Each structure stands twice: as C-alpha cells, then as structure tokens.
Amino acid sequence: DAKTTQPPSMDCAEGRAANLPCNHSTISGNEYVYWYRQIHSQGPQYIIHGLKNNETNEMASLIITEDRKSSTLILPHATLRDTAVYYCIPGSNDYKLSFGAGTTVTVRA
Amino acid sequence: GEEVAQTPKHLVRGEGQKAKLYCAPIKGHSYVFWYQQVLKNEFKFLISFQNENVFDETGMPKERFSAKCLPNSPCSLEIQATKLEDSAVYFCASSRRQGLLSYEQYFGPGTRLTVT
C-alpha cells in the first residue's frame, strides 16, 4: 500500500478556508485518494475521493497534483464542527482502509 | 436503513469472558468491514465480508476472534476469552462497490469494549 505523509496538526480560523496537504509519492496509477475524517468519539466519515482530476462535493474540494504524488483537501469555509482528525488514504485493491496518523484540525472562533 | 447500526454502544467484560458485537450494514451494501481503534488515531483493519463470504481476514487474531455475516441477520464480531489488550472501540463499516476501484465506506458509531 502507498504511504502517506500528513502534518500532525493545524489550526484554522472559523469562516476561513482550511487547506490540508497530503503526500502520497508511492501511490500507484490506479489507486484513488480518499479523505475521511473522525470527529471526536464518532465513527470515521467519508469526505471525498479522486483519481486524477480535481473533485468537489458539498463538503470539500480535492486538488490532486498532475504527478499524483500529493493532494490537498480544501474545506472552503471552516466551521467549529469541522474540528476533527482528517485522514488521507490511498485506495487499495483489497478495499480495506489503512488509516495513518492523520492531521488534527482545530477550527478556532 | 440509511446508517450503519452497531450494538451495544458500550460493553464491559471481565478478562476471560466472551464479547459479542453486532453490526447492521446499510441496506443494499454488499461489503462489511470491521476495524479496531485502540488508541486515538490508531486503526487496525480486522476483517471484511462480501455478502456472507469472508473477503479479507488478514487482520484477524485467529485464536480468539471470529466474525460472521449471515443472510437476514446483523453481522457479528465475537471475541472469546477477552484480554485487557482487546479494550478498544470497534467500528463496523459498509460499502457498495462503485466502479472498478472506487468506493467509499460508511462507518457506524462504534462499540466501546472495556475489558477489566
């Protein structure tokens, strides 16, 4: 499985955009990049995924570099409820998710 | 249902006792996954099912852990003779395969197992 590197923590001001980076330089050509988050004491929540093209949904946007070695999750207008641990996870052929340490995002008022 | 349901929410067992956890996947989802979260941020994959068939059991401690997904019944994860190190939150997730390699998993709220 591809390895990922994420900053351990970051702060964001409420109402501002939060940009969460992830390095996945060993990702293979057919592996998707998935983003999940875990709000305190809850089960992980799917956010978004992509392969090559940038993606956007109601929760976030995902920007993937052309060489696919890194990506950035963008929360356009962070709220206090977005405080969570965010995980960047390459998709594997056997479907299981390999969670790393993630980035602890704290949104401050 | 539209959400993954897990029961019980909390479970306390004495060391050596049996523990059984249940998971009802989202209706129409054919894949079920079990994960163990021992410490904050540390997830371990245990087992996955495609319908009632084991799909991947590479994460299961085979001596004491077993799991089933039978038709028309909640899936279950059973731990025989629990140990202190089994204390964790156990999450169940389900997914519906979409496309060749694209899928997302929907997680339940988890069962917190405390072994004393």
Per residue in B43-60, pLDDT (tens digit) is 999 999 999 999 999 999
- Residue B40: predicted pLDDT: 75
Residues 6+ apart with CB under 8 A from B73: none
Q: Is A6 on the interface with B (CB under 8 A)?
A: no
Residues 6+ apart with CB under 8 A from A69: A23, A24, A25, A27
Q: What Cα–Cα distance (Å) separates residue A60 from each residue in A37, A48, A49, A50, A74?
A: 12, 7, 10, 12, 6
Tens-place pLDDT, residues B57-93: 999 998 999 999 999 899 999 999 999 999 999 999 9
- Taking contacts as CB-CB distances below 8 angstroms, the residues of chain A near B91 are 43-44
Share of chain A above pLDDT 70, in %: 97
Share of chain A above pLDDT 90, in %: 78
- Residue B98: predicted pLDDT: 55
Would you mind telling me the total number of residues written for chain A in this entry? 109
- Among A96, A97, A98, A99, most B C-beta atoms within 10 A, so best to mutate, is A96
Closest residue, chain B, to A37 (C-alpha): B41
Tens-place pLDDT, residues A58-78: 999 999 999 999 999 999 999
Confirm if A82 and A66 have CB atoms less than 8 A apart. no
Tens-place pLDDT, residues A83-109: 999 999 988 767 889 899 999 999 999
Closest CA–CA distance from residue A77 to any residue of chain B (Å): 24
Which of A45, A49, A99 is opposite residue B43, by nearest beta carbon? A99
Q: Where are the alpha helices (DSSP H) in B1-116?
A: none
Residue with tokens 């997914």: B95
- Taking contacts as CB-CB distances below 8 angstroms, the residues of chain B near A97 are 33, 35, 43, 45, 93, 105
Cβ of B109 within 8 Å of Cβ of A96? The answer is no
- Residue A26: predicted pLDDT: 87
3-class DSSP assignment, residue A63: strand
- In DSSP notation, A83-94 reads -EEEEEEE--TT
User: Hey, what's the torsion of the CAs at B34, A22, A42, B91, to 10 degrees?
Assistant: 0
Tens-place pLDDT, residues A18-34: 999 999 988 888 888 99
